[in-house]
Amino acid sequence: MGDSIKVLPIAGALGAVIEGIDLSTDLSEGTVATIRRIWLEHLVVFFQDQNISPAQFLAFTRRFGQVTEYPLVKGLEDYPEIIPVVKLEHERVNFGGIWHSDTAYLEVPPMASMLIAREVPPVGGDTLFANMYLAYETLSDGMKHLLDGLVALNTSVKAEATRTREDRMKDSARLDGTKEYVGVHPVVRIHPETGRRALYVNVAHTVSFDGMTPAESAPILDYLFRHQIRSEFTCRFRWRVGSIAFWDNRCAQHNPINDYHGHRRVMHRVTLAGDRPVGTHCSVSRDRRRMTTQET
């Protein structure tokens, strides 16, 4: 790592600010590899005061993988891969304002997401992140044994998440935004790069375990939803214009705090294509994998 690059952890569980890199420049392969190594270690990394255009933002994102479009909301007119994440002054609900891993309802969920702040409120609008490695590792041996063999159904129309998209769906929904997407994934996911196990359920999208009813699944899921966001698993990031967050959806969740009513917050998000989640001692049936674009 070059002497000019500094890594400043922001919490014990996850999260670090990377200093000493100007993302408007053409980064070397060595610098990109260093960023990826830091990112894999800390799960989410942050950059401050990056005055970059949408084209430069996309170019930086593409250094880490293939950019993919969000399935429900249209992107910017000139940059469809960039999704505006907006809360306007008169709105009361913020987009994605619930703990989640991005689009876990897709058959192949995204590897990562990047968010850059374009407009921020004078105070508030922070984002929380949680470490799903720790969420799994701190479970009892008995609970780990139970979960290692389970898969879960994740849907794009779970009420808790749908409410956080209503404002944006009114004015910027994609033509296919009325579809329901269903992804069936291992509850315990093996990270393809680190080999570590992470808890891969979330309150925004997970509705039940495969082979169980929602009522049968609810007691365990409710426990997991509370457990995985324990304060000692989390970090909190305060945005300013030009801040960038880059998080790993395979092992981290996030939750934007909705505490800035009457103020505008405008962010731009890009997602990176991932791989089909792989777990331990479990398989997802071919019929279940076809349940990805059912009409509502």
Whether 36 has a pLDDT exceeding 50, the answer reads yes
Q: Out of 191, 205, 268, 269, which one is annotated catalytic?
A: 269
The superfamily (CATH) of domain 6-295 is: Clavaminate synthase-like (3.60.130.10)
Return d(Cα 57, Cα 67) in angstroms, integer. Answer: 11
Q: Out of 102, 197, 205, 248, which one is annotated catalytic?
A: 102
The answer to whether residue 191 is catalytic is: no
The answer to whether residue 254 is catalytic is: yes
CB 223 within 8 A of CB 67: no
Return d(Cα 94, Cα 96) in angstroms, integer. Answer: 6
Q: Where are the alpha helices (DSSP H) in 206-274?
A: 214-227
Beta-bridge mates of residue 265:
87
pLDDT tens-digit series, residues 242-272: 999 999 999 999 999 999 999 999 999 999 9
Q: Out of 185, 191, 254, 268, which one is annotated catalytic?
A: 254
Enter the pTM of the model: 0.90
Return d(Cα 168, Cα 50) in angstroms, integer. Answer: 26
Percent of the chain with pLDDT over 90: 79
The answer to whether residue 205 is catalytic is: no
Task: Extract the tokens encoding 53.
Answer: 């255009």
Phi and psi torsions of 4, nearest 5°: -80, -15
Whether 218 has a pLDDT exceeding 60, the answer reads yes
The answer to whether residue 62 is catalytic is: no
